Structures are given as C-alpha cells and as structure tokens.
Amino acid sequence: MNGEALRAAWADALALLGCHSTASTERLFDSLVTAYREPQRHYHSLQHLGECLSLARLHEAQARRPGEVAMALWFHDAVYDVHAHDNEQRSADWASDALRAAGVGAGAAQRVQALVMATCHDAQPVDDDARLLVDIDLSILGAPPDRFAEYEQQIRREYAHVPREIFEPRRREILGRFLARDPLYLTPTLRADREAQARINLARAIG
C-alpha cells in the first residue's frame, strides 16, 4: 500500500468513526507513519500495516464496528521495541488518548484500546471485532509460501541480537502454539482463505 493509499485508508477510518480530517489528525497520521518506518522494524512496518488494512477492507462486512477495527489496526503496532514487553499496552494507551483528543467518543476509544490489547495473542478473543482483528493480524501465517518465508526472515532480522541457539527454539515454540490452535482463524471467511496454508507454513517452519 503506497503513501496515497495509506492516507486514503486513514481518512476512511476517521470517517467511519465520525471524525473529520483536521490539522491534529494529519499530525497523528504523520506520527504513526513515522513510527512504522522506525529502523528496527523489518516485519512490523508499513508493509504489514498495509497488508492488514487491505484485508480489513476486504472483510469489512464481517465487522460490527469497522471503523474501530480499522483504527485498531493503525495503532496495533504503533509502539514496537523488541526489548520491551509492554508494546501493546503502550500502543493501546496511545490510541485511546489520541482518539479522545480527536473527538472520538469515550466508548469507541475504549473499544479501540481493548482491540489493540487483543493483539497480545495471549488468549483467543470472544468479541466478533476482536476475532476479526486478531485474524487479520495473524493472516501472514496463511500467506503464500514466498511471503511467509520473507516474513520469517524479517522477524529474524528484528531479533538479530538474539543468538541463534536461543532464537530458534523460542521461535519454534511460538509457532507451535499457533499451530496447536484449532481452528487457528476464528472468522469464517479468513479461515476458509488462510487456515490450510497456515498449517502448511507453520509445520514447515517448525520442522
């Protein structure tokens, strides 16, 4: 997704939340784009954000509140520090504060904050919009083999500071937990589109 498409997606998300573009929301857009361009990011970048936003638009009919899902995707990796353990919390708090400042209602801002926290992936969500958001975030697992291989290389680059003998067992453990989920994808349309390939990709990566 190029810069023009990203800006259009941002405007669409604002509109769905009942917001108009202002100097403040334009500065917020610029801040988010700058964050996703940080040099330590190889996977958690504008490429990943663009892929997620494209899928969100494709599956918009599955969302109860599509604007909140889209805005949560904008913020879900807004803070990304491989040495920290509170990236999701800091991203969620940024979303809540920024959306309230932009005039979004407290209820919507709180729901977006909760959606961002769902991307911790420590439990499978029960809310329909959270399920869709998490499935979109994990859609890379069911990507075509070439893209999945690129993703694995990008993750390794983000953790280049971790020795191979530590990184590889931990990575297999993480991927194994996703493979053990049955189903992996909780949204029927994404399950039909991605589940089979995800299981092939994950089994190959673990093996």
- pLDDT tens column, 67-95: 999 999 999 999 999 999 999 999 999 99
Positive or negative, the Cα torsion across 170, 48, 116, 33?
A: positive
Helical spans, DSSP H, in the chain = 3-16, 23-36, 46-58, 66-75, 87-101, 106-118, 128-137, 145-158, 164-180, 188-206
Do 194 and 100 share a structural domain? Answer: no
Contact 34, 114 (CB under 8 A): no
Q: How long a stretch of residues is the chain?
A: 207
Q: How far is CA 23 from the centre of its chain?
A: 26
* Close Cβ partners of 48 (under 8 Å, ≥ 6 residues apart): 77, 140
Residue reference for tokens 């899928």: 55
Judged by DSSP in three states, 43 sits in coil
Residue 125 lies in a domain: no
- pLDDT at res. 20: 85
Domain that holds residue 34: 1-120
10 Å CB burial of residue 79 (0-12, 13-18, 19+) is buried
* Close Cβ partners of 129 (under 8 Å, ≥ 6 residues apart): 63, 64, 65, 68, 69, 111, 115
Residue 183 lies in a domain: yes
User: Measured between alpha carbons, how far is 2 from 132 in angstroms, rounded to an integer?
Assistant: 24
Residue reference for tokens 């969302």: 63
Nearest partner of 159 among 81, 87, 86, 89, judged by Cα: 81
Q: Is the pTM of this model over 0.75?
A: yes
Do 107 and 184 share a structural domain? Answer: no
Rounded to 5°, the CA angle 54-55-56 comes to 90
Residue 14 lies in a domain: yes
Do 102 and 64 share a structural domain? Answer: yes
Q: Each residue's pLDDT tens digit in the chain (207 positions)?
A: 888 999 999 999 999 999 988 999 999 999 999 999 999 999 999 999 999 999 999 999 999 999 999 999 999 999 999 999 999 999 999 999 999 999 999 999 999 999 999 999 888 898 999 999 999 999 999 999 999 999 999 999 999 999 999 999 999 999 999 999 999 999 999 999 999 999 999 999 999
Question: What is the domain count for the chain?
Answer: 2
Residue 129 lies in a domain: no
Residue 170 lies in a domain: yes
Q: How far is CA 71 from the centre of its chain?
A: 10
